[in-house]
Structure 1
Amino acid sequence: MTANSPEDGPDTAHRRPHGVDDLTVEAVGKLSEALETVERARGHLYSFHQLTGSADFDLGSAADLFDKAGHTGIAQRLRTELVGRNVLPGRWTFQIVEEYDEDYYARVRAAEQAARDELLQGRRHVYESEMKEARRTRGAEGHEARP
């Protein structure tokens, strides 16, 4: 394999389709980066969902302990004001997660997929693949183009 052979570079799935300009590759790369950030935000939203659920159970446990300690007024206030309470009007966190997934998240994913399909033959990470090619040292261990 020579340094400039096709086998030395990215596989076809990560190569720029013929005729696609630099700015287009960069734009699709930026859109993919936005999707990655939305994916991270979604993960934080699921963390929020799980942490809030855990806190709700802890509030219930605290109420039980206040009852056992004879502080029934505090226990009752926790149960009526906080345990099982909506975190937003009419919504528990699972409803927030579902709305996010079905609207914003789904739209960003669809927009990114549509742009890749229309402009890059559906290929993923073309921008990153080209960055790898520019930054790796050909022939050096750990700098191979492919697995």
Structure 2
Amino acid sequence: MPGRATPAGVSDATVDALGALSEALETTERARGHLYTFHQLTGEADLALGDAVAKLRTAGHDDVADRIAEDLVGRNVVPGHWTFQLVEEYDDGYWSTFREHERRAREELAGGVRHLFEARMKQDRRTHGRPGHEATPVRTD
């Protein structure tokens, strides 16, 4: 197969299994991105909340501003954690462990070659010989 050959001795079932593992990892990568989005949006909300508290004070509503500032501004999103701590724990724990298992499985079962399932799909779906359907990047140098 041009582009990315399946290593000798790697069965179709192994390619399918590694493809499923890779897909699961990709879903985890998407989840991680959403976690970072959650982290950033929560931080933006807390800063905006601080601005709202200042405006409440300017409008003469110190009692409301005090209540919100004391109870909500800078509050943990879960006990003991700001969002950066959730991100760090996810990255250092689940995400890193998941990536390591996927890498190790590829190393043991396919010589470390990535995306074998997708490479096969590309070969099946592309129109051989047609511009824009090349097996590998076209060099222009």
Q: TM-score, normalised by structure 1?
A: 0.91
Distance 1:15 1:28 in 2: 15
Give secondary structure in 1 for the equivalent of 2:104. helix
Distance 1:105 1:19 in 2: 30
Distance 2:21 2:9 in 1: 20
Give secondary structure in 2 for the equivalent of 1:142. coil
Residue identity over aligned pairs, in percent, reads 57
| Corresponding pairs, count | 137
**Aligned AA (2:130):** A
Choose which of 10, 19, 32 in structure 1 pairs with 2:22.
32
Distance 1:78 1:118 in 2: 55
Q: Deviations over 1:57-89 (max 9, x none)?
A: 011000000000001111011101110000000
Equivalent position of 1:142 in the other structure: 132
Equivalent position of 1:78 in the other structure: 68
Distance 2:9 2:81 in 1: 49
Deviation at 1:141, TM superposition (A): 1.2
Equivalent position of 2:95 in the other structure: 105
- Contact preservation (8 Å) 1:26, 1:127: yes
Equivalent position of 2:45 in the other structure: 55
| Structure 1 residue ranges (4+ consecutive) displaced by more than 2 angstroms after TM superposition | none
Deviation at 1:105, TM superposition (A): 0.1
Unaligned runs of 5+ in 1: 1-5
Unaligned runs of 5+ in 2: none
Choose which of 95, 116, 119 in structure 2 pairs with 1:126.
116
Q: TM-score, normalised by structure 2?
A: 0.95
Deviation at 1:146, TM superposition (A): 0.6
